[in-house]
């Protein structure tokens, strides 16, 4: 009997149609910006210069016969006695400046051996002893950041799952009865609104081992669907007790645990343990070689509980994509 597709459809309808009530577990709750120059006549009054007739009375210098008696200046032999200036030997006795040996005694500046004794700056071996900065081997000892192998080793705590991590052992108890669920599979649910997070649809069951659920596969005695779980990127727990939050729904085909067609959890804690997931790879049609999610579950029902560890492998039949 093929009930896989109808189970999922009916489960969604049951969640959308029946409001969640506190303390109720069965069939409950929905998954949602200038003329003045003319007065120059004053200069025209230069007629006063025309009275230069006074200068024409220069006849008085013509009586210069007095100057003709200039024989006294001819007696300039006094001036010729300029031998005093000729006795410039005083100036020629400039041997004093020539005795500039004092400036030439610049040996004092030449005695610049003090600056030349710059061996003090040359003794810059202190800066040259910059081996302290060169001893930057402390920053060079940046091998601590280089020891970033811890982030790189992030594959160790979350993307690696070995040994018991790859086993599924979940117990469902209800109304005094219990069953073990030993198989786990998962698919992706693409959000209807672009940009919203992708979620996982996980099926735990106790049917045939290694058989990926499909429309054609037989139903198991019991199965639990875990959904509204965001694709985990680390081990942060996800908890839900209201519509749209993580939830686990029991379907008991055997009728041993419950006679209700659906029993919804009233509280669920989903804790990722390890995962290798890639929603975008699914859209591209190239899932990763290692494709799984390992987790712990701890859920409560009105009359029961769900607890244990699951290791779910990928089943394309459990995908719900928007273009499908």
pLDDT in tens, 13-52: 666 554 443 434 455 443 434 444 443 434 443 433 343 4
Neighbours of 2 (CB within 10 A): 12
3-state secondary structure 150-215: HHHHHHCCCCCCCHHHHCCEEEEEECCEEEEECEEEEEEECCCCCCCCCEEEEEEECCCCCCCCCC
Whole-model pTM: value is 0.58
Cβ-proximal residues to 296 (8 Å cutoff; 6+ apart), any chain:
270, 271, 273, 308, 309, 310
The tens digit of pLDDT for each residue in 258-283 reads 999 999 999 999 999 999 999 999 98
Instruction: Provide the pLDDT for residue 323.
Output: 80
pLDDT number for residue 215 = 84
- The predicted structure's pLDDT at residue 85: 47
The answer for 224, left when phi > 0, alpha when psi is -120 to 50, beta otherwise, is: beta
Give pLDDT, residue 8: 66
**pLDDT beneath 70, residues of the chain:** 1-156, 324
pLDDT of residue 136: 47
Looking at residue 246, what is its pLDDT? 98
Find where tokens 């929603």 sit: 279
* CA 64/CA 55 separation, integer angstroms: 16
């Amino acid at each position: 009997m093929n009930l896989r597709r109808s189970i999922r459809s009916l489960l969604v309808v049951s969640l959308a149609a029946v409001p969640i009530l506190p303390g109720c577990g069965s069939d409950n709750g929905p998954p949602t910006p200038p003329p003045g120059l003319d007065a120059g006549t004053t200069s025209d009054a230069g007629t006063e210069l025309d009275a230069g007739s006074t200068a024409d009375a220069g006849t008085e210098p013509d009586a210069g016969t007095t100057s003709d008696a200039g024989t006294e200046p001819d007696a300039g032999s006094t001036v010729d006695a300029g031998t005093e200036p000729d006795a410039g030997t005083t100036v020629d006795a400039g041997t004093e400046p020539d005795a500039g040996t004092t400036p030439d005694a610049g040996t004092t500046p030449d005695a610049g051996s003090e600056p030349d004794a710059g061996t003090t700056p040359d003794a810059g071996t202190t800066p040259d002893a910059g081996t302290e900065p060169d001893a930057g081997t402390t920053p060079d000892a940046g091998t601590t950041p280089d020891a970033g192998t811890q982030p790189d080793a992030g594959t160790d705590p979350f993307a690696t799952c070995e040994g018991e991590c790859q086993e599924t052992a979940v117990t469902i108890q209800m109304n005094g009865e219990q069953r073990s669920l030993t198989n786990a599979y998962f698919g992706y649910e693409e959000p209807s609104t672009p940009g919203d997070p992708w979620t996982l649809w996980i099926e735990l069951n106790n049917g045939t081992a290694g058989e990926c659920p499909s429309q054609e596969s037989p139903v198991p005695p019991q199965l639990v669907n875990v959904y509204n779980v965001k694709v985990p990127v680390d081990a942060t727990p996800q908890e839900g007790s209201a519509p749209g939050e993580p939830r686990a729904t029991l379907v008991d085909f055997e009728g041993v645990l419950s006679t209700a067609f659906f029993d919804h959890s009233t509280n669920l804690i989903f804790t990722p343990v390890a995962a290798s997931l890639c929603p975008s790879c699914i859209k591209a049609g190239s899932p990763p070689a290692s494709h799984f999610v390992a987790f712990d579950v701890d859920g409560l029902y009105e009359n029961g509980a769900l607890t244990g560890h699951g290791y779910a492998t990928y089943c394309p039949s459990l995908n719900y994509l928007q273009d499908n």
